[in-house]
A = this chain, B = another copy of it.
């Protein structure tokens, strides 16, 4: 820990102990780590006798409603708070438009892009989850980990690392997770609830889509059509985690998922597992993203967009090959 982080941590400790009505927020479209961080911090402060206010404007995704404290969450801020804590937010806009003018006292996050918008900013980009930061610091700040907190924080770590799978998982992360188990969290149960379970219709959607899986050279692709969603009764417009399945295929360098939307648009997702910067391809179609994972939304029919994208991706890969390199654009 740097000296700055040490000073910041001490300031946060004293703020947490001197204030009694903290307001705790995370980001819009909350994921497991956002939910877990807010609930974990809330449970810690509530156990210490404070009147903590936990706010998610959109509520909590039903998947995470099993977590303790989720029934105390509000969708609007009530007056009377004396401390504002933002968790897992890289910038203040991401907290939600209605919170853009809030005076943020404490900002705790693990995103490298964090804009340090709080008075105290504990930003640790080497950590795989904000929940992992809280699991380390809360006890240091005088808030011991209860079984409910352990369950919540382990859920945040599990979801943000997809079951300890991402490249930012360290030995320390596993020691931390082990400590949370020792503090009362049931790993198997949380794994099942937060990561494994899948609806019948999602499984069927996978089937419809994967049965049309195609491959040409080092590119594999498939689509999710409006008809697939209808036939499977799948409610969302998302990719049902199919990109994870595609990116796990061994013999290919780039996978592409074409996801048909209602509005004559096709959401296209590229994944690379061979050091190919697919965000360059996505940018060509008005999209963006990261080197191994990028996307774009393209107007047109499924077949038309598919042909266009496959042709461009193919020529992009051939260009790289002709240059004798495979990390073009990185």
Distance of A158 from chain B, by nearest CB (Å): 9
Contacts of A196 in B (CB 8 A): 165, 248
Question: In the bound complex, what is the Cα–Cα distance between A249 and B198 (angstroms)?
Answer: 5
Q: From A51-59, A178-186, A277-285, A311-319, give the one contacting chain B.
A: A178-186
**A9 part of interface (Cβ distance < 8 Å):** no
Contacts of A112 in B (CB 8 A): none
**B209 touching A213, Cβ below 8 Å:** no
**A301 part of interface (Cβ distance < 8 Å):** no
Contacts of A188 in B (CB 8 A): 165-167, 169
Known contacts being A174-B177, A179-B171, A188-B166, is A213 close to B203, with CB within 8 Å?
yes
**B208 touching A211, Cβ below 8 Å:** yes
Q: Which residue of B lies closest to A63 (CB)?
A: B250
Q: A170-B181, A174-B174, A174-B177 are in contact. List 5 more A-B contacts (CB 8 A).
A: A163-B164, A165-B188, A167-B188, A203-B210, A207-B222
**A200 part of interface (Cβ distance < 8 Å):** yes
| A 138-194 contacts with B by CB, 8 A | 163-167, 169-175, 177-179, 181-182, 187-188, 191-192
**A3 part of interface (Cβ distance < 8 Å):** no
**B199 touching A249, Cβ below 8 Å:** yes
Q: Which residue of B lies closest to A210 (CB)?
A: B207
Question: In the bound complex, what is the Cα–Cα distance between A215 and B187 (angstroms)?
Answer: 29
